[in-house]
Amino acid sequence: MSRFVGVLGLLVLVLASVMAAVVAYSQESMVVVFSASDPVGDDNGTGNYTYPTNAVFQPGVFDLTGFMVMKNSTHVALVVFLRNLGGNPWEGPAGFCLQHVQIYVRTTATETTNTSTYGLKVVVSDDYAWHYAILLTPGWGEEPAPQGQVSAIYDATGSLLAKAGESGFTVYADPSMNAIVALINTSLLVDIDNIASWKYVVTVSGYDGFEASKLRSVGLVAEEWKFGGADTYALAANVAPLVIDLLAPTADAQYAMLTSYKVDPETLEGTPAVVEGVPAPPPQPVTETVTKTVTETKTSTVTSTTTTLIPTTVPEYVTDWTTTIAVGIILLIIGVLLGYVFFRKK
């Protein structure tokens, strides 16, 4: 019995240590390393796109208003702000279901880069050729996007680095801020020390689980489940962008990029539009910094010539699943040992 008590005491100490680590971990503040705003009301793709006609597509659900990147010693958080998250009418496991967000990250590393995109029918300019593609989707099933419906991270070679729910990668919605958040363990990324110099291409599209690409299609005229307003020649050449909003300094800049496709009217052969992202801003003087546990930071933001809708708060922190599972296993072991003692006494 004394031996058992000693083992039990050791396990309790281990559990206490783990729980203390979780508490300390969750209270480490995240620092804003990048932020940019996007014009309000430019959720019309090329300038002519219109929403599908079903009432579930509320005004602003595809309107990107800002993008923010934060980090601490263990994680990077990518936060995509929308004018209206639109709720979660089809109960996507990640807390959203209408949007399909893609983030292309250009680090300062000299590793292989890529200029293609995952089904958007646009390409990225050489200056923004990416090292990481981060696809944020509602989360049904087990298969990673783009074939499946679970958020995923790919490197420039097309290799899957992680899917949401495992490997230190979590995706969730924060309705209070109309935001979609990707929380990534820094162990999955390279060049973290130079994160303040990274560049980003951020797109918002419609999510459609019935499409092979999982992207909602666009046609000449909007239908119940399809965007409208695409160019006839672009549709014929299969280069009509499936991007409804693009992180850009102005609406005109977005329209110019998304209409940069080329189509031969005789052969109907086309080349896709070329899009650029947002570079790292020059150093800005910090006007105020207030930290509350891990979750709240006020800092100066980079503003464009349009209205800025980036909130001054950051999302609730999500504990890494690895730690959660470890705690669960320890609790299970303690429960088994306690049960063993109980039945021994009987």
**105-162 pLDDT tens trace:** 999 999 999 999 999 999 999 999 999 999 999 999 999 999 999 999 999 999 999 9
Q: What is the CA radius of gyration of the chain?
A: 23
| Phi, psi torsion values for 274, nearest 5 degrees | -110, 125
Distance CA 6, CA 147 (A): 51
Confidence of residue 166 (pLDDT cuts 50, 70, 90): confident
Domain ranges of the chain: 1-29+317-346, 31-316
Q: Give the dihedral of Cα atoms 293, 167, 97, 63; nearest 10 deg.
A: 60
Residue 322: per-residue pLDDT: 46
Calculate the alpha carbon distances from 284 to 73, 202, 288, 301 in Å: 22, 22, 12, 8
**Rounded percentage of the chain residues whose pLDDT exceeds 90:** 71
346 exposure class (CB count in 10 Å sphere: 0-12, 13-18, 19+): exposed
β-strand partners of 76: 71, 184
Helices (H), 33-168: none
Domain 31-316 classification at class level:
mainly beta
